[in-house]
Each structure stands twice: as C-alpha cells, then as structure tokens.
A and B are shown apart, each in its own frame.
Chain A
Amino acid sequence: MSQPDAEIVQFDNVGLRYGTGKEVLSDVSFTLYPGCFYFLTGASGAGKTSLLKLLYLSQRPSRGLIRMFGTDAITLPRERLPALRRRIGVVFQDFRLVSHMSAFDNVALPLRVGGVSEKEVTRPVADMLEWVGLGDRMHARPATLSGGEQQRVAIARAVIARPDMLVADEPTGNVDPEMALKLMRLFESLNRLGTTVVVATHDLHLIQKVPDSLIMRLDKGRLSDPTGALRYPPRRSAPIEAPASL
C-alpha cells in the first residue's frame, strides 16, 4: 500500500441545506487521495447527489470547509472556478446532454471548452465514441438516443479530457450488465492512470466488481466509513488496459 501524494479533496465539517429546510448533509468530513477508487453508497435520499454536487463545485456548502486540489473552494473567487472544474469529469444522474448538439459535439464539449483545436478534437472524440459502442451514432442528437446510449455519451464526455477526478452519479443505471462492467473497466483504467474516481451507486453488485475500491456510506446526510477509506491511506493498483483515446 503506497502513501498518498497529497489529498485532492478535503471536506471538514461540511453541512448543506437548501433554503431554510433542514440539513441534507451534516458534519461531513473526509479526504480523497489521488489515484483512489471510491464508491459512495446510501439509500435514496441519503444525500449522495448533494455530496456529489459539492464535489463537482455545482453547489456551495452552508457551512464547513472544502479544499479541492490544494485550493480553498469556499473562498475561491468565481472566476477561478472554471480552472478547477476542468480537472473534474462529471457523469450526471440525468446525463445532462446538450439537446441541440450531436453525440460527437457533446463528447467534444469539454475539449472545446478547454480550448483544444478542432484538429485535435476529432480523433479522440471519435475513438471514445467508438469505444463506448456509439461509433455509428456520432451524429445523432440526444433525443434520438436510448437511455443507455445517452448514458454512454455522458460517460464519454466526462472522461474525454482525462480529468484528475471523475465524479459519477449512478453511471450504470440505464445500461445492461455487460456495458456496466465495460464502463467500470473504463473507470478503473482511468483510475490506474491516476484519476481519482468517485462513483455514487446503491448497486452492491457493481461495487464487488472493483475489488480495490473504498466505500463511503451516507446515511441521512451523515457519512460512515465501512472500509476505512476516510481513515487509512489509499491503495494503488497496477495499470490495466485503457482505451486508445485515453
């Protein structure tokens, strides 16, 4: 078991409430290390999506401290958020594909936002879509894709720019078991290339497919630590085969 280089995410007594309602997250404290694979589990309504929103900087907490990639994310000026967000790949639970764009353009979006030239966009995006089995649906709009196909486009979009951290909210909810396993292998590939992966799921079968993973459990907005993920230094595994585009 190797020592972590440095924590990439640190939550300290974080609480979150929407409006004047009761806290959906309370006293959440944990540290995520680079190159680790985390599962975030919990029943529906436990606060998984809220915690992920904090992780991908879509929401500010009501209280507590959050450090991301060595930067205080609470006091960070708004104009510096994009630079942090570009280091995070997100698979949204509802996919959030851009409806007027083709599958190709949706996957290319993080690269274009990052200022990658059109010449350098085409090949990796095509390869990635090919890898997730959508090579023949590149020019299809999201509305014409099935739920599973949309999910694969969303995953391709999240990983195309090789983020430092991948955050996925129920990423295999709409795909068949074979594709779910394939996607997990993709996440593992990314993980072994150094990307920290956080997957929110309540699919125990999926968790068992990734033996080196660490589990964080949310229960009514409070975090527990069944595998010691929050207390002990993380493990890193040997690299496995990654898709060509990665």
Chain B
Amino acid sequence: MNPLAILLARWRDREGTGEARLLPEGELSGPMPWVIAIMIALTVVAAASGLALRNAAHAASADLEGGVTVQIVSAAPRQRNAQADAALKALAGAPGVASAQRVAQDDLNTLVEPWLGTRPGDDVEALPIPALIDVRLSGSATPDRIAALRARVVPVAPAARVDAQAAWLTPVFRAIDTLQWLAGGLIALLAFATVAAVLLASRNALGNHRETIEIVHMLGGTDQQIARVFQRTMAIDAAAGGIAGLLAGSTILLVLARQFAGLGSGMVGQAGLGWLDWLTIVAIPVAGVLLAVVTARLTVLAALRRML
C-alpha cells in the first residue's frame, strides 16, 4: 500500500461513523486520489498560464493605451533630423499631448542591435533607421485623435508616419486572447475528464458493492445513506488528490516562472500573478472536491433509483 493510501485509510478510520461502515470505504474509489491530483495539477498550470497571459496583456495595454509613435521615414539624415525637429515642435503645442520625446539614437541602435548586430565592423550608421518620437497622450489613442495628430504633423514633416502604439501589438493581443481561450478550454476539458473519471469510479464501486447495497436496502437503508458513504469517500480522496495536485502544479509554476524570468523580456516580465490570482489557484482544488462530490452523489443516486 502506498503512503497516500495508508494516510487516507487512517483518516477514514478516524472518521468512521456507524453509517460510514455500511460499505468498505477504503475500496470504493481506488486510484481516484491520483487521478484527481493529476487533473488538479494540470488545471493549476492551465489556469495560472491563462491568468498570467491576461495580466501581461492588461499591463501592455495600459502602457500603450495613450502611446503614439511618430516615425520620420527618410533616408537622408539631414532631412530626417529637420523633419523630426519640426514634428516635435508641432506636437508640443497639440491639444491632448501630455509629452513628446525623440528617442535617442543610442536607444534606437540598442533596439535594432539583436537584428543588425554590433560586432566590430558592423556599420549601423550606414542603415537609414527612421527617427522616432514617443508621444504620450493625456487619454486613449483613439483613431480620431491619431487623425488629428497626423493632420498637424504631416504638413511640417511629410515623411512622418503617425501610429498608435497599441496598433503594433494588436496581433500579439489577439494571440494572447486566443491562448487565454485555449487555457479556458483546457480547464473545461480537465473538469469534464474529472467528472468522467469520478462517474466511472462511482459506477465501478457501485457494481463491486451491489450485493452489499441490496442488503442495506433490504434492511431499510435509504439511497441518501448509501450516497453519503460514497460522497464522503470521494470528498476525502478528492481533497487528498487536490492538495497533492496543487503542490505539484505550484512547483511546475515556480519552475516556469524562473525560466521565463531569465528571458528578461518586457512583456514576459509583466506576466506575473497577483494575490487574487493565487487565491483563484488555491480555489481550484476546492472546486475539484466539490465537483467530485456532486458527481459521485448524482451518479450513485441515479444508479440506486434503478434498484428497488
């Protein structure tokens, strides 16, 4: 007998009331604690992933909400600089603009460094990198406000392109949205699989103890009494499996968090979990226990109704 089974058997013995002794509880659910532990661990990972992605998307969205990028796309450095200065002046007086700042050439070089390289001999200056102006609006960068900015900047800087920063990340947000739905779908599938496993285990246990159940019925035992024995056993098994699953899932999350922290990417860095998220994760085993207990009860009652 494995340690988890021994622990559960002791627990059941302590809880063994007269009603609980109607059926041999230790033999009812078999490997259910392990099945539930696996389901809960996977659900914890899926839920945490979904929550982290949501947090990352929210943080990025908040950062970019009032952000506008003005690019001066000109191959001639002098003309580019002149138009950038003119655009800056035009933006400075524009209504709704909280700040407008030209991105320094060193920052631009750092930005393109991973793609163009900075090894000795690389000539970054030879490439016509656009001048960039980072604009912060006092509100959201709505299409109307972008159009108004464009109307103000383009006359003085014809090479200017004005875009909302959020627009650049729209495909990323869509991908995150899809991944969140995927996480939700996985959780739903895991819940379904848990229900199916509990249903099969309950039916199997009912089949194994059919004769005892018939005797209990003949002696005046009610369906509720028999169902209570099953649901109590399932609650204990599911609670043990839930705790084991939560620990396993949390360990996986910590390992993943370390791996992603090593990436040092801005968006990944914002994909943390808040206390409310952890509370949600801790609630997963509780929900698992409830789901298992309700499923066991309904399965047993439905099966007993078919007996006289």
Dominant SS at the B interface? Answer: helix
Q: Once bound together, how far apart are the Cα atoms of A24 and B284, in whole Å? A: 56
A205 within 8 A of B: no
A112 within 8 A of B: yes
Complex interface: chain B residues within 8 A of A79 (CB): 222-223
Complex interface: chain B residues within 8 A of A81 (CB): 308
Q: State how many residues of chain A have any CB contact under 8 Å with chain B.
A: 32
CB distance from B214 to the nearest CB of A (A): 8
Complex interface: chain B residues within 8 A of A60 (CB): 308
B217-265 with Cβ < 8 A to chain A: 217-223, 225
Q: Once bound together, how far apart are the Cα atoms of A105 and B223, in whole Å? A: 20
CB distance from A215 to the nearest CB of B (A): 26
A100 within 8 A of B: yes
Of the listed stretches A13-21, A83-91, A169-177, name the one at the interface; the rest are far from the partner chain: A83-91
Residue from A83, A96, A101, A121 in contact with B220 in the complex, judged by beta carbons closer than 8 Å? A83
A136-166 with Cβ < 8 A to chain B: 157
CB distance from A74 to the nearest CB of B (A): 12
B113 within 8 A of A: no
Q: Once bound together, how far apart are the Cα atoms of A136 and B181, in whole Å? A: 66
Given contacts A59-B308, A113-B225, contact A85 B218 (CB under 8 A): yes
A58 within 8 A of B: yes
A46 within 8 A of B: no
Complex interface: chain A residues within 8 A of B9 (CB): none
Q: Once bound together, how far apart are the Cα atoms of A58 and B307, in whole Å? A: 10
Cβ-defined contact, A114 with B308, below 8 A? no
Q: Once bound together, how far apart are the Cα atoms of A58 and B225, in whole Å? A: 18
Q: Once bound together, how far apart are the Cα atoms of A96 and B215, in whole Å? A: 7
Q: Once bound together, how far apart are the Cα atoms of A100 and B229, in whole Å? A: 15
Closest A residue to B225 using CB positions: A113
Q: Once bound together, how far apart are the Cα atoms of A98 and B22, in whole Å? A: 9
Given contacts A98-B215, A101-B21, A118-B17, contact A78 B305 (CB under 8 A): yes
Closest A residue to B220 using CB positions: A86
Q: Once bound together, how far apart are the Cα atoms of A59 and B21, in whole Å? A: 26
Q: Once bound together, how far apart are the Cα atoms of A90 and B22, in whole Å? A: 18
A89-125 with Cβ < 8 A to chain B: 90, 96, 98-101, 105, 108-114, 116-118, 121
B216 within 8 A of A: yes
Closest B residue to A118 using CB positions: B18
Closest A residue to B19 using CB positions: A112
A82 within 8 A of B: yes
Cβ-defined contact, A108 with B18, below 8 A? yes
Q: Once bound together, how far apart are the Cα atoms of A99 and B214, in whole Å? A: 13
A37 within 8 A of B: no
CB distance from A142 to the nearest CB of B (A): 12
Given contacts A101-B21, A118-B18, A121-B18, contact A82 B308 (CB under 8 A): no
B110 within 8 A of A: no
Q: How does the 8 Å CB contact mask read for B12-30 relative to A, with 1 for contact and 0 for none? A: 0000011101101000000
Q: Which of B18, B21, B220, B221 counts the most chain A CB atoms within 10 A?
A: B220
CB distance from B157 to the nearest CB of A (A): 83
Q: Once bound together, how far apart are the Cα atoms of A56 and B220, in whole Å? A: 10
Residue from A101, A105, A113, A118 in contact with B221 in the complex, judged by beta carbons closer than 8 Å? A113
Cβ-defined contact, A100 with B219, below 8 A? no
Q: Once bound together, how far apart are the Cα atoms of A19 and B308, in whole Å? A: 16
A37-86 with Cβ < 8 A to chain B: 56-60, 78-79, 81-86
Q: Once bound together, how far apart are the Cα atoms of A81 and B307, in whole Å? A: 12
Q: Once bound together, how far apart are the Cα atoms of A59 and B218, in whole Å? A: 11
B138 within 8 A of A: no
Cβ-defined contact, A113 with B220, below 8 A? yes
Complex interface: chain A residues within 8 A of B21 (CB): 101, 105, 112
B249-287 with Cβ < 8 A to chain A: none
Given contacts A85-B219, A105-B21, A109-B219, could you give 18 more A-B pairs where the C-beta distance is less than 8 Å?
A: A56-B218, A57-B308, A58-B308, A83-B220, A84-B220, A85-B220, A86-B220, A96-B211, A96-B215, A96-B218, A98-B215, A108-B18, A110-B219, A110-B220, A113-B216, A113-B221, A113-B225, A121-B18
Q: Which 6 A-B pairs have the closest CB atoms?
A: A86-B220, A112-B18, A85-B220, A100-B24, A113-B221, A82-B220
Pairs across A and B, CB under 8 Å, 21 listed = A56-B218, A57-B308, A79-B222, A79-B223, A82-B220, A83-B220, A84-B220, A85-B218, A86-B219, A96-B211, A96-B215, A98-B212, A100-B24, A109-B22, A109-B216, A110-B219, A110-B220, A112-B19, A113-B216, A113-B219, A113-B225
